[in-house]
Amino acid sequence: VITAEYVQEFLKASADLDVPLSVAEELVPLVRGQREALARLDRFDVASVRPAVGFDPRTPFRA
Amino acid sequence: MIAPAQLDLLELSAMELALQLRSGALTATQLAQAVCERIEVTEPILHAFISFDRAALLEAAAAADRHPSTSAPALMHGLPVAVKDNLDVAGVGTTAGSRVLGHVGRVALEDAGAVAKMREAGALVVGKANLHEFAYGATGVNLRHTTPANPWDLMRIPGGSSSGSAVAVAARQVPMALGTDAAGSIRMPASLCGIVGLKATFGRVSTRGVVASHNATVDHVGPLARSVADVAFGLQVLAGYDPADSTSIDEPVPDYITALDQRDSLRGLKVGVTATYFFDAVDAEVESGVRTAIELLGRLGATLVSVDIPDLQDMMAARLAIFADGLAFHIPHLRAHPELYSREIRHRLYVDTFVQAHDYARANRVRRLLQERFARVFLDDLGVDLLASPTTPIAALPPDQWSVSFGQSQPEPVGLALLRLTAPANLTGLPAISVPAGFTAAGLPFGLQLIARPYDERLLLAAAHVYEQAAGWYKRRPPGVGA
């Protein structure tokens, strides 16, 4: 469950960012929206897919 | 007020001006003076620039006039160009539209790769163009400086993030500007300001010296101008391998300018139009106008083909994780001086912090799937040469409108709606252009986006040029600043 307290603690623990609880409250719906959006990626089976790092747009166009 | 003769001069295209400069029919000083006067008259209304140094421009122009090339003049000899203020210009502070970089007093030690290319070709840097703070937004609203006004309606947003670049070109302050594009930031303001914006294939133009990029694998540098011919001219100068840029690709540079003369129709081309995504949630006037534009592509000889790129909507969520890469730049500044960020950008960066390693890894793999699905449309039986879509699903809105609805759909933040149709070309790295495609009843422009195969900019530009000349929308002039 994403709460203001969780947002505040996460930002402090993960990035040493201090935000007041009032700001954390404003962030709650935004963080929820981000998690919901990123969850849309879960449906893709990427276990054997090579990541697009070292990216070259020509790669799939080569035989 | 600016003299009519000087305004006429600024109505000339970048290529026409360059031709006159090279031939000696026009001096760099004459043109620079016209640009200075135009900027000084219009800038209090437009706010297209973060910094503009009249004396420095006139000095550079005088130097160009004193020292003409010993052999043939350089391609852009004496041509004034605006540079988006997230691109380094040696000796000048780069703010990226933020107070953060101004606070640390960062002054560029060398030109960005693209700026260096322009200067090697003889172009003169007019000033640093305004932008959405840290190029992290699509509206062009900048609460840390000022928001540039859209020349077609001064009470509307210009689009972003290359807002100042687009406004300066549309309002005839400069004939050409440089922008950056990580999710559509060249093409979106081009669409909303009624000009042409080009994002070439990833790696085609150096991105060295782009400050605070969200992710080096989606960012591009490119030209904005008033015609396809002028962005082809810009690309001719900008394109090329930059060994100092790890994302630059060593590929021969063809002649983009002559490509425009090789077609007078679109015969033999297949243009793909997606049944979903690119037309799913688009303002009715914009959709109607862009469908009319696509019909014109057909009348010009193109074969129109319905195509499908499955799962595009879900795949585009990868962008959210990929943009979190920018935190590597921002976290130290956010810790030290969060108050220097606008609330909008500060909140966005806080939310980015919640992207986790597995999100980032998955996003980069989904991005590969997305790349392959686009490739299939260009390669498989359908074998389209170009994809056509609206550039933006809306025309310019007032700056205090934060969401937009399409039919029965839920309200969508304006910033997300604006980049929805341009961002796929950033995740795939494919070359894409926005060309004026019509006007709403309120007189607001919108663009047609064309996307091509990697390194097929010659075809992209040639097709866009054929459309542009037939449609004629590029000839309209904005009323907002007396142009």
Catalytic residue among B98, B117, B128, B161: B161
Pairwise CB contact (< 8 Å): A52 & B315: no
Pairwise CB contact (< 8 Å): B354 & A35: yes
Q: Which of A27, A57, A59 sits opposite B351 (nearest CB)?
A: A27
d(CA B309, CA B377): 8
B434 catalytic? Reply is no
What's the rounded mean pLDDT across residues A12-29? 97
Query: Could you report the per-residue pLDDT of B388-440, keeping only the tens digit for each?
Result: 999 999 999 999 999 999 887 789 999 999 999 999 999 999 999 999 999 99
Q: Which of A16, A42, A51 sits opposite B364 (nearest CB)?
A: A51
What's the rounded mean pLDDT across residues B303-327? 96
What is the rounded average pLDDT for all residues in chain B? Answer: 94
Q: Which residue has the tokens 């310019």?
A: B396
Pairwise CB contact (< 8 Å): A57 & B363: no
What's the rounded mean pLDDT across residues B385-390? 98
Collapsing DSSP states into helix, strand and coil, what is residue B304? Answer: strand
**With an 8 Å Cβ cutoff, is B329 touching chain A?**
no
| Whether B422 contacts B184, CB under 8 Å | yes
Pairwise CB contact (< 8 Å): B318 & A41: yes
- Cβ-Cβ contacts under 8 Å, B371 against chain A: 52, 57, 59-60
Nearest alpha carbon to residue B167 among B143, B137, B145, B197: B197
B185 catalytic? Reply is yes
Chain B segment 228-267 residues within 8 A of A by beta carbon are 247, 249
d(CA B130, CA B177): 11
d(CA B197, CA B449): 10
Chain B segment 261-300 residues within 8 A of A by beta carbon are none
Residue A41 confidence (pLDDT): 98
Question: CA B242, B247, B248: angle at the middle one, nearest 5?
Answer: 30
Range with lowest mean pLDDT among A24-28, B254-258, B476-480: B476-480
Q: Can you say how many angstroms the Cα of residue B108 is from the centroid of all Cα atoms in its chain?
A: 22
User: pLDDT class for B214, splitting at 50, 70, 90?
Assistant: confident
Chain A segment 24-63 residues within 8 A of B by beta carbon are 26-27, 30-31, 34-35, 37-38, 40-44, 46, 49-53, 55-61
> Residue A37: pLDDT above 90?
yes
> Residue A63: pLDDT above 60?
no
Nearest alpha carbon to residue B390 among B276, B272, B278, B248: B278
- Cβ-Cβ contacts under 8 Å, B427 against chain A: 52
DSSP state of B356: -
d(CA B26, CA B130): 29
Percent of chain B with pLDDT over 70: 97
Q: Which of B215, B219, B335, B353 to mutate against chain A (most A CBs within 10 Å)?
A: B353
Instruction: Please report, as a single letter, which amino acid is at residue B320.
Output: L
B84 catalytic? Reply is yes
Interface confidence, given as ipTM, is 0.90
Q: Which residue has the tokens 């907002």?
A: B480
d(CA B222, CA B195): 13
End-to-end, the C-alpha distance of chain B in Å comes to 12
Nearest CA in chain B to A43: B314
Nearest CA in chain B to A50: B365
Chain B segment 421-460 residues within 8 A of A by beta carbon are 427-430, 453-455
> Residue B363: pLDDT above 80?
yes
> Residue A24: pLDDT above 50?
yes
> Residue B361: pLDDT above 80?
yes
Residue B483 confidence (pLDDT): 46
Query: Could you report the per-residue pLDDT of B465-474, keeping only the tens digit for each?
Result: 999 999 999 9
Collapsing DSSP states into helix, strand and coil, what is residue B424? Answer: helix
Query: Could you report the per-residue pLDDT of B149-205, keeping only the tens digit for each?
Result: 999 999 999 999 999 999 999 999 999 999 999 999 999 999 999 999 999 999 999
User: Residue B161: is the preceding peptide bond cis (ω within 30°)?
Assistant: yes
Determine if residue B338 is left, alpha or beta; phi over 0 gives left, psi from -120 to 50 gives alpha, anything else beta. alpha
Kindly list the distances between the CA atom of residue B367 and the CA atoms of B47, B244, B254, in Å, as whole numbers in the listed order. Answer: 37, 26, 29
What's the rounded mean pLDDT across residues B293-319? 97
